Amino acid sequence: MISLEHRYYGESLPFRSTSFETFNLKYLNSKQALKDIAFFIEQVKKNKWYGITELNKWITIGGSYSGALSAWFRAKYPHLTVGALASSAVILAVEDFKQFDEQIYLSTLKSGSYCVEAIQQLTEYAENQTLG
């Protein structure tokens, strides 16, 4: 499994400064994200990174916004993937949708506080991993 970081998130800034002026935001869009994914897959196969070759099959997976990207990617680049999983793929963007996070918290809390803690620990673990 390989997880990609969307441009402008984390350390993926396509400009040298940390300035988020309008000019620097020209590549912050879903079309560019799809092109980035396609380029990444092509480079991985071409250079046999991680031991991956043309024989390996690709499935894109995402939830919410990344779910929409997953579905759009499969539609736009069917030659690069054999499938896509688009869980809760958004069709109407909502800015600062705190209710989603609140609902996830409340739903997992029903299973016990250990569930919330396990998700938090897994998230922290995943964020601290590096490729090597």
Closest CA to 53 of 62, 61, 63, 44: 44
Q: What percent of the chain is predicted at pLDDT more than 90?
A: 50
- Tell me the pLDDT tens digit for each residue of 59-72: 999 998 899 999 99
- pLDDT score recorded for residue 2: 86
Q: Which residues contact 38 (CB under 8 A, 6 or more apart)?
A: 73, 76, 77, 80
For the chain, the straight-line distance linking the first and the last C-alpha, in angstroms and rounded, comes to 14
3-state SS record for 13-37: CCCCCCCCCHHHHCCCCHHHHHHHH
- Tell me the pLDDT tens digit for each residue of 17-55: 667 778 878 888 899 999 999 999 999 999 999 899 999
Spatial contact of 81 and 74, defined as CB atoms under 8 Å apart: yes
